[in-house]
Amino acid sequence: MKICVTGCAGFIGAYVVTCALRAGLSVVGVDNLSADYDVRLKEWRLKRLLSEPGFRFCRTDLTDSSAVRRRMEKALATDGRAGAVIHLAGRVGLRRSLEDPSACYESNVGGTLNLLESCRRIGVPRVVLASTAAVYAEPQGQDALPEMLPDAVGMFGQPSVDSPYAASKRAAEQLIHSYYTTYGIDAVVARLFTVYGPAGHPEMSVFRFVRAISGDEPVEIYGDGTQRRDFTYVEDVARGLVAATRLPGFHVVDLGTGTPIALLKVVDALGAIMGRTPRIRYLPAHPAEVVDRGADVDRTEGILGWVAATPLDAGLRQCVSWFEENRGWVTSLNLGEPYHTERIAPDR
């Protein structure tokens, strides 16, 4: 079976490609190598994937409908039609969406629509959408989640979301559902929680925590640090997304551990692993962030047969090990303004 992974050079996407290849699938990876964060991380991930048998890269921007027709559709139809698409490409981040909501919608909604139209035209039978736990509105706690995870018929009758990012992902979910009901394209909406792991997104908390502690710099915490997140190891998430390509029909699942952890506890755990005492700098809480967030693991296990398997301590140790092994270039990564390069060829 051949599958397509959009956003293949992204943090989660690169792991999904590796997981699929290990499962014996061939993969067409699609990415535009956007400069929304330092592209050297994307290049590092992609370089490793290009050495893998069974992987082909197609550089395409999903927001460009003509390029999608001209390049991606050809790649998906070559040597047999793709059996599924795992869709991870898009703009991420609550704060970024507040700064540039138009780009967020263009990527997450427009790009998803172009992808679905391609699937309809060339007959791709199944799509897995990587959505986000941000679509769950407050009040948000682990005990509230079962009531906020209705079945496919009522999944969109939920309270209003609290950021353009969450709204864009909710809209993408609606598009996926509409193509299921109208064109019969099977789909899984996988709502991801706080995904972490080696070579992670440089704006995410674990990456920043490790880098700050390693450099004996203050760890910046927005709020008082008691806010909890469902930290889920990236390889577990990749395994769940690949497994979802086998589900018929339409489903909504959470990919998380079900056990939210306070940010300060994660900082303390990293300090213990690294043999350092973290220094904390508290900053004002961001209004778009929620306090508690945890996955409904029983529902996911029942539908997908998937559970997260990596303990937090083991996952954090992998993050620290990767950082130390790649310290020479990782410490120079730009965590602020985007860094742009054109060193990767369009296709292989």
165 is annotated as an active-site residue: yes
For residues 232, 238, 243, 248, the Cα torsion angle rounded to the nearest 10 degrees is: 90
Cα–Cα distances in angstroms (integers) from residue 258 to residues 146, 203, 282, 284, in the given order: 11, 23, 27, 27
| Displacement of CA 281 from its chain's centroid (Å) | 27
21, burial (CB in 10 Å: exposed 0-12, middle 13-18, buried 19+): middle
- CA–CA separation, 296 and 307 (whole Å): 11
* Nearest-angstrom CA–CA distance, 40 and 253: 32
> Is the distance from CB of 27 to CB of 56 less than 8 angstroms?
yes
Choosing from 165, 179, 180, 196, the catalytic residue is 165
Phi, psi of 336 (to 5 degrees): -110, -100
Both tokens assigned to 131: 């959505």
Look at the chain and count its residues. Answer: 348
Alpha helix positions (H), the chain: 11-22, 39-50, 65-67, 73-77, 94-99, 101-105, 111-122, 164-183, 205-214, 234-244, 263-274, 297-304, 312-325, 327-330
Q: Are residues 305 and 243 in contact, defined by beta-carbon separation less than 8 angstroms?
A: yes
CA distances from 234 to 31, 182, 193, 237, 317 (A): 19, 33, 10, 5, 13
Tell me which DSSP letter residue 161 carries. Answer: P
Q: List the structure tokens of 295.
A: 């996955």
Burial status of residue 283 (CB atoms within 10 A of its CB: 0-12, 13-18, 19 or more)? exposed
CA 50 to the chain's CA centroid: 20
Active site residues: 165
